Amino acid sequence: MAQPSKAFLGPMIHSPSPSKLEIIPLALVSVDSNGKIAGLVKNVNAQSAQDALQALDFPPDLITVEKLAPGQFLIPGFVDTHNHAPQWAQRGLGQGMQILDWLDAITFPNEARFRDPDYARRVYASCVDGFLRQGVTTASYYGSIHGEATKILADLCQEKGQRALVGKCNMSRNAPDYYLDASVEESLRVTEDCIAHIRSMEPAGGRVVQHVLTPRFAISCGPDLLQGLGELARQNPDLPIQTHFNEAEQEIKATLALFPQFINEADLYEHYGLLGPRSILAHCCHMTEYELDRLRALECGVAHCPVSNMTVGGGFMAAPVRAFLRRGIKVGLGTDSGGGFSSSILDAMRQAMIASHAREVMSEGQDKGLSTEEVFYLATLGGAQVCGLGDKVGSFEVGKAFDALVVGTRGAEQGIMTMVEEDDSLRTVFDKFIMTGDDRNIVQVYVQGRLVKGAL
């Protein structure tokens, strides 16, 4: 086993299940040289910190102990289950548009610029930095259609230390000529090239990037391309799969008109071998009972993107999250940047609450709104499960990677706006952070034990 290299002593909050928020007033967590959690002692008292270190069986002089400052606490890093890296520069544009009009007018012209590797490097560097700053320790990224730009994105995530699923986006039809794969064969060839590139990365600290198969959606992928990607999925059982699913009425109508042999999207994507435990389905706003049952039976995960659902795409209604949770369907949160104007998972958590309260009214009280505990779970372990990383990240457990945020809630001099009082309980401070915090509260960000934002 790797030697412990550092330990953190301070309050810790995580969410091992949707309804359980575990608040530990003082915990000692040690991290080994591979970035994994080597030991975790809960309910330490300040005087016994040295004893606790010894109890962990790690000689205290071998490890650095970081003592969190007053007002600080540890939480697991945020997981963004749905993010378009080439839309970083278009966030906030085209608000209120219907999905297909927004793709044509705003998105395809922007994404096409990633044919230029220099542009890709510049924008993707800013994107990865921006998300790390917001505490996104894992992101599932759609790239553009371009192989070279997609490899640049994967390289940047690795260099900057962000755990990421990175996918070359596949598109063979229904977009302008300047933004389509040259052919189905070329689309698959470039995808395989990106898969090989990512697999060949052998950085010293271990690889934190994976390829994710990324058919944009069935409107832009003909049957032969869907078939080819389904085949790639079969040949590569380690690769996750992501696509857009039942996002808006305009999109569902157009999809079923292109595939008249199906009466819903679940049957369509299942037919092409793209639905299963590895599938990350973005949006899922319009769901019949039948499709809910299929998603449960096939063990698909949902990327819930309430910010974009309420501002871009049409329908302006977010997914029935309570129905997913009730059935045990995996759910996480996505920024859907740049359909979503915000790159903050805290914003996604708040918007998820707001949208769920609207759902509660619409369902005449049947589908209860989401609580703070629940949205925090979606932002952490829920998202990790959707990305196939539930046994690796998302909560604090011995053997998991140390992907964590040090949250600071005091420090007007650092511009922290969250207003806490001396006598606030840890739970109160946590609630205030979730509802009023922003990136200024995210003091340090760790991925696989590596500090990727903030100073020691």
Q: For binding to ligand GUN (CB under 6 A), which residues are involved?
A: 84, 99, 103, 107, 216-217, 244, 247, 308, 313, 336, 339
> Among the residues of 161-222, which ranges form H helices?
184-200
Q: Which is nearer to ligand GUN, 63 or 127 (CB)?
A: 127
SS3 state at 28: strand
Shortest gap between Cβ of 216 and ligand GUN (angstroms)? 5
From residue 316 to residue 355, the character string flagging contacts with Fe ion as x (rule: CB under 5 A) and all else as - is --------------------x-------------------
444 binds, among Fe ion, ligand GUN, none (CB under 5 to 8 A by kind): none
Q: Measuring CA to CA, which residue among 5, 41, 16 is closest to residue 26? A: 41
Backbone torsions φ then ψ of 240, nearest 5 degrees: -70, 165
Q: What is the largest CA-CA distance in the chain?
A: 69
CB of 153 to ligand GUN, least distance (A): 15
The tokens for 199 are: 């697999």
Pick between residue 63 and residue 266 the one whose CB is nearest to ligand GUN.
266
CA-CA distances (angstroms) from residue 449 to 132, 218, 377?
14, 39, 21
Select 78 or 217, whichever has its Cβ closest to ligand GUN.
217
Does 247 bind Fe ion (CB under 5 A)? Our answer is no
**Which partner, ligand GUN, Fe ion, none, binds residue 217 by CB below 5 to 8 Å per kind?**
ligand GUN
Q: Which residue is nearest to Fe ion (CB)?
A: 336
Pairing mode, strands 241-245 and 279-283: parallel
**Residue 391 has what DSSP assignment?**
T
Task: Tell me the residue ranges of DSSP E strands in 85-234.
Answer: 136-142, 163-167, 169-170, 209-211, 214-215
Buried b (16+ CB within 10 A) or exposed e, 402-424: bbbbbbbbbbeeeebebeeeeee
Closest CB to ligand GUN among residues 284, 443 = 284
Among residues 41 and 127, whose Cβ is nearest to ligand GUN?
Answer: 127
Nearer to ligand GUN, 155 or 247 (CB): 247
Task: Name the residue nearer to Fe ion (CB basis): 265 or 336.
Answer: 336
Please choose which of Fe ion, ligand GUN, none residue 124 contacts, taking the beta carbon within 5 to 8 angstroms, the exact cut-off set by kind.
none
* Min separation Cβ 303 and ligand GUN, Å: 10
What does 99 interact with, of ligand GUN, Fe ion, none (CB < 5 to 8 A by kind)? Answer: ligand GUN
Is the separation of the CB atoms in 370 and 322 below 8 Å? yes
CB of 86 to ligand GUN, least distance (A): 9
Contact 337, 136 (CB under 8 A): no
Smaller CB separation from ligand GUN, 247 or 270? 247
Rounded distance, CA 25 to CA 49, Å? 13
403 makes contact, choosing from ligand GUN, Fe ion, none, with CB < 5 to 8 Å by partner type, with none
C-alpha distances in Å from residue 32, one per residue of 3, 39, 113, 146, 262: 5, 9, 42, 38, 51
107 binds, among ligand GUN, Fe ion, none (CB under 5 to 8 A by kind): ligand GUN
For the bound state, the minimum distance from the C-beta of residue 379 to ligand GUN, rounded and expressed in Å, comes to 19
- Contact residues: Fe ion, CB under 5 A: 336
